[in-house]
Amino acid sequence: AIGLILVVLVLSIFLNLRTAFWVAIGIPVAMLGTFFVLPFFDSFLDSISLMALILVVGIIVDDGIIISENIARKREMGYPPLKAASEGVREVFLPVLTTVLTTFLAFSPMFFMKGMMGKFIYVIPLVVSLALFISLFESVFALPAHLKRGMEKIIIRQAARERKNAARSSKKGSTVREAVGAERVAVRKWFDWLRKFYKKLCYHFLRVRYILVVLFFAVLVGTVWYAKNNMEFLLFDSSTSDRFYIGVELPTGTSLLATEEKVKEIEALIQGLPEEELKTFLTRIGTLGWVGTGENYAALMVGLTPFSERTRNINEIIEDIRYKANKLEGFDKLVFDIDAGGPPVGKPIFLRVIGPDDEMRTKLTNRIENFLMNAEGVKDIDRNDKLGKQQVEIKFAYNKLARLGLTVADVAQNVRIAYDGQVVTSMRDGDEDIKFRVILSEKARKNVNFLTRLSIPNRQGRLIKLGEVASLKTSPGLNAYHHFDGERTITIQADIVQDVTSPLVVTQAMMEQFDMEKDYPGMRIKIGGEAEESQKAWLNLLFSFLVAFIGIYFLLVLLFNSFSQPVLVLIAIPFGIVGVIIALALHNEPLTFLVMIGVIGLVGVVVNDSLVLVSRINELSKERPAGKLKKRELREHNLRIIAEGTSDRLRAIILTTLTTAAGLLPLAYGIGGESLWMSPMALALGYGLIFATPLTLVLIPCMYAIGIDLRKVFSRKKVFESA
């Protein structure tokens, strides 16, 4: 609501209040239309679709701004209302249609993203696309009709006022002309000065265009260098989360009652948090999340107040609890896990060690654990091969087995029958079958020493005592055996300090430490969790950018009927990303998946601004052909055409930027409500536009002029070669 109010205020500053109202009314129309159409695509209103709608609030108003601004410009030129509305729409229809299609192309590759993240964000491009096309329909057909009716009412009102105040004025036509003039002054009074000033400024920029272009590209290279060396890609930023878990592990053999009493010490630490930080917590005894169940396990879920209501972030709170908990005695391990939101992708570092050899698999897992313990920025390391109850392991003397005519299968079968029993017969009692099972007595089963005296028949029928071919070893056994693709596996996971490292950096460094074929034959390591999803998401995003770039380029080729001019439009994209990097650096925010979604939205808006700018310069070039001018006069003519075309679109570009930023920046700073999902995306799109727009208003005209210079150079070269 705050963003919508700011959008209306910005529009009313640059346009009259009636025009601003009808442009802004396109926002709820597009939203309600999207709500209505969404169920036909098997999607419904949820937090993700709302996030997409808020992302597109500033974008869907762009086509209305361009159309209304052009209608207002035609009206300022003296056109009657009907002609101003029709000509205003006709003149910019193709650029507006192209802007909608370019934004659609920027988001459409996200339909084909794979993996968990692809399923998670599928609704974002769907909502954006529906809102864009509904907004286009409203802007082309409904908006001009409303504006035309408003202009007619102004003329009638002004004419009536003039007839009342000027009794001598008897000619209706002159009264109407005076009314038109009054309306023009009301619209142009302050912005005309700004447009004329910018036109002169742009002309001076064009005279030093080569110096400016070099400076712009130097800024681009410097910003990219900074991002490469100081920013890591994360799937989700967990620092603003409001929920975390504590996994508690006590010594093997601890009873449920003892575990419950011991966990009260951790609960006391949580209850010691300030009231403005702690919202709720829940304790479960006898279970440990992904590991399983056990009497010596416990798990605590801690819910914090919203990030905007507390002074410490979740990492600072966890480190405070960790520091105090480390002073407690009697705990084997305490593991903290932050719920960063989003789809269930697992911990930042999630590794599966897979292979048939139990000893080698455990040895490799131990080495990985040691590496992670020494890696900078890695914390809360845990593994799922937890010890459970005491077990008896039978160790065979294989030479004795062979000599006495026994096999491991013979021993295993007889031990199983002895301790689990075997059904030997059954009898019918009415409607029930009663089975008779032969099994060792309970007293014998509880006596481990009796196992060595267990008799096993060999192939000749001779009874061999188990103690003659094997020895027994009593030790704690595994709590559970885990499998992946039918093979035994041990999973090890860990968290990271986001300001220090990233999942991809840690996993890549870890894989370089092991020669699997040489040192661990038959073993393999499978990377999962956030590291795997981060890699997939990054590759999918790069693919989306590439497909969108190619699609937008060929669409612009059709609009401009040129292969070179689309490059002028697309060159604004990397400079928009410069704004995102600067914004993230100033706000100390990481480069996350949701930030990249905001960058995709930024691509659409930046391309739209550049498109309408280049399109207007092309129109002026056709309207005012150079004819036969001298070299110096021709250069001045081209520079003035470019400066005038840029100034003609100044209001539309500024309005597009300010309305988009006004709709998103309150969300970025949590004004009127905070969303962990939407804030990074809004920050990237809002600040990206704020930084990119001045660059667009200077860089694109300079590049356009340089393009003219290059065409002249190549044309002279062709003439010289033909001569």
For 652-682, how does the pLDDT look when each residue is reduced to its tens digit (9 = 90+)?
888 878 877 777 777 777 665 556 667 777 7
Which band of pLDDT confidence, cut at 50, 70 and 90, is reported for residue 702? very high
Instruction: Express each pLDDT in 310-347 by its tens digit.
Output: 888 888 899 899 999 988 988 988 888 888 766 666 77
pLDDT in tens, 368-416: 999 998 988 888 888 888 777 778 888 888 898 888 888 899 889 988 9
Which is more confidently placed, 476 or 89? 89
What is the pLDDT, as a whole number, of residue 264? 93
Residue type, 273: L
Handedness of CA 557, 560, 562, 566 (dihedral sign): negative
Q: Express each pLDDT in 265-323 by its tens digit.
A: 999 999 999 988 999 999 999 887 766 677 888 999 999 988 878 888 888 899 899 99
Q: Which domains does the chain have, with CATH numbers?
A: 1-189 (1.20.1640.10), 205-230+562-723 (1.20.1640.10), 243-388+482-526 (3.30.70.1430), 389-478 (3.30.2090.10)
In the block, tokens 């294989």 appear at: 398
Residue predicted with more confidence, 135 or 347: 135
Residue pair 523/354 in contact (Cβ under 8 Å)? The answer is yes
207 and 311 in contact (C-beta within 8 Å)? Answer: no
Distance CA 147, CA 142 (A): 9
Q: State the average pLDDT for the chain.
A: 82
Compute the C-alpha angle 318/281/278, nearest 5°.
60
Higher pLDDT, 15 or 493: 493
287: phi then psi, degrees, rounded to nearest 5? -145, 150
Phi-psi sector, 352: left (phi>0), alpha (psi -120 to 50), beta = beta
Element (H, E) at 299: strand 292-304
Give strand ranges (E) for 419-507.
422-429, 432-438, 455-457, 463-465, 470-478, 482-484, 487-496
- At CA 665, angle to CA 661 and CA 669, rounded to 5? 170
CA–CA separation, 619 and 641 (whole Å): 10
What is the predicted pLDDT for the residue at 230?
A: 82
Tokens 């103690």 belong to which residue?
467
Stretch 531-536: mean pLDDT: 72
Range in 61-65, 357-361, 571-575, 673-677 with the lowest mean pLDDT: 673-677
Range with lowest mean pLDDT among 115-119, 222-226, 407-411, 478-482? 115-119
DSSP 3-state of 461 = coil
The string of pLDDT tens digits covering residues 26-42 is 888 998 999 999 999 88
What are the angstrom distances between the C-alpha of 109 and each of 253, 467, 541?
54, 68, 9
The rounded Cα 234 to chain-centroid distance in angstroms is 9
**CB of 48 closer than 8 Å to CB of 123:** yes
Radius of gyration of the chain (CA): 36
Pairwise pLDDT comparison (185 vs 335), residue with the higher score:
335
Contact at 8 Å (CB) between 352 and 437?
no
Mean pLDDT, residues 250-265: 89
CB-side neighbour CA atoms (13 Å) of 545: 17
Q: Which two tokens stand for residue 723?
A: 């001569």
- β-pair type (432-438, 422-429): antiparallel
Which range (436-440, 486-490, 587-591, 696-700) has the least confidence? 587-591
CB atoms within 10 A of CB 561: 9
Interval 447-487: pLDDT, tens = 888 888 888 888 888 898 988 888 888 887 777 788 888 88
DSSP one-letter string for 498-525: TTT--HHHHHHHHHTT--HHHHSTT-EE
Return the closest-CA partner of residue 454 out of 495, 415, 510, 482: 415
Q: Look up residue 698 and give its two tokens.
A: 């200077």
